C-alpha cells in the first residue's frame, strides 16, 4: 500500500486485521530500512544482557507460519532492496 505520510494506511490495515481476527505484521520499507529490520540484530535488554531481537523474516516464520523467503515474497523484498 502506498500513499503520503499520515494518510492512515497502517491504521486501515490494522483495523481490517482486527475485524478479521488476524495479526497484522507491519513491514516498514523506506530509504533508511536496513537488513537488520528484516533479519534481526543483537541489542541490549533492560537488564544489560545481549539478546537477539527478531526481524520481520524470522518473526513471520516462527509466530505466523509465513515464510517470507518464499520466491513470491522474496521478489518483492529484492525489488525494494535494488531500488
Q: Would you list the domain boundaries of the chain?
A: 9-82
How many Cβ atoms sit within 10 Å of the Cβ of residue 41?
12
CA dist., res. 32 & res. 30, Å (int) = 5
pLDDT per position as a tens digit, 17-66: 899 888 887 777 777 778 888 888 999 999 999 999 888 888 887 777 77
pLDDT per position as a tens digit, 2-27: 788 888 888 988 899 899 888 887 77
CA distances from 37 to 33, 42, 59 (A): 7, 11, 11
Residue 17: closest CA among 32, 39, 1: 1
Amino acid at each position: 500500500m502506498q500513499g503520503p505520510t499520515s494518510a492512515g494506511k497502517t491504521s486501515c490495515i490494522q483495523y481490517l486485521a482486527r475485524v478479521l481476527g488476524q495479526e497484522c505484521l507491519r513491514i516498514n520499507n523506506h530509504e533508511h530500512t536496513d537488513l537488520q529490520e528484516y533479519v534481526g540484530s543483537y541489542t541490549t535488554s533492560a537488564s544489560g544482557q545481549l539478546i537477539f531481537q527478531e526481524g520481520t523474516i524470522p518473526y513471520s516464520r516462527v509466530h505466523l507460519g509465513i515464510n517470507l523467503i518464499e520466491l513470491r515474497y522474496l521478489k518483492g523484498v529484492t525489488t525494494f532492496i535494488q531500488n
